[in-house]
Structure 1
Amino acid sequence: MTAAFDSPLDTITLTGLRASGFHGVLEEERRNGQVFVIDVMVHLDLRAAADTDDLEQTVHYGALAEDVVAAVESDPVDLIETVAERVASVALAHASVKVVVVTIHKPSAPITVPFDDVAVTITRFADASPRTTIGFGKR
């Protein structure tokens, strides 16, 4: 199997971002809202940024964090899966991001049994599909 990318990928991770939203299928979730916790991991090549010490060669994680929170706090939807897709789109809007992994935590989900967390995690690729090459036989 060969790598899916032309160069190795590096990672910028934002963990535990908090945003208030009104997402959910239940009326009280839409009425009262709740806090969502978001983890975002973007994969990109950081060599140019390291070589030039130029912010334009990377993703400004402060701006990304603000964009993610704004995406979560925007229009209410039923599913946190939809929120995760929205956040992934925000991250992939940065040209240097090749892959994004988004986890949306809903720690106050309306579940009738004791629990610590409910979360949805998605992985999305800039080119919309993961690429894997498998070779068989001789060259």
Structure 2
Amino acid sequence: MSEYERSRTMPALPEHVFDQAGNVGQLDTWLPRDLHVQAQELPAVTVHEDRTGEDAAALFRAQREQMRLEWGTRDSGSYAGWLQVSGIGSGASEVTVHLSFFDEEHDPGKDSVEAELDRSLERLDELVRLRIDDGAAG
């Protein structure tokens, strides 16, 4: 089993960050570029991976009261992850993403996973900032 975790501070309230991160319709805007999520009847989703061309049955749960997202493969149990948003005061939040690969064949490797986690958190930060700017302008 391999586990990876990355965190990033974002200049927004935890509720705002959570709402952006947990919106199933916009997951593609911040997830790794080769992953595409199609909601079924939640918590069921299908994840398409461009790299392999395969679709995987998965689960996605948003727990607003805990500011936590959880996901993972539905049938194979080879992969799981979570995202936790925590308020750190002064209107800022810390976002932590954790991935677990239970099947080593599905683990792309430390450098690749950590780089994708950093890029995903950067895209989520950009999405959050855009929504804040749009809200301030409107």
Q: Same fold (TM over 0.5)?
A: no
Which one has a larger percent strand, Structure 1 or Structure 2? 2
The normalised TM-score by structure 1 is: 0.29
Which one has a larger percent helix, Structure 1 or Structure 2? 2
Report the structure number with the largest CA radius of gyration.
Answer: 1
The normalised TM-score by structure 2 is: 0.29
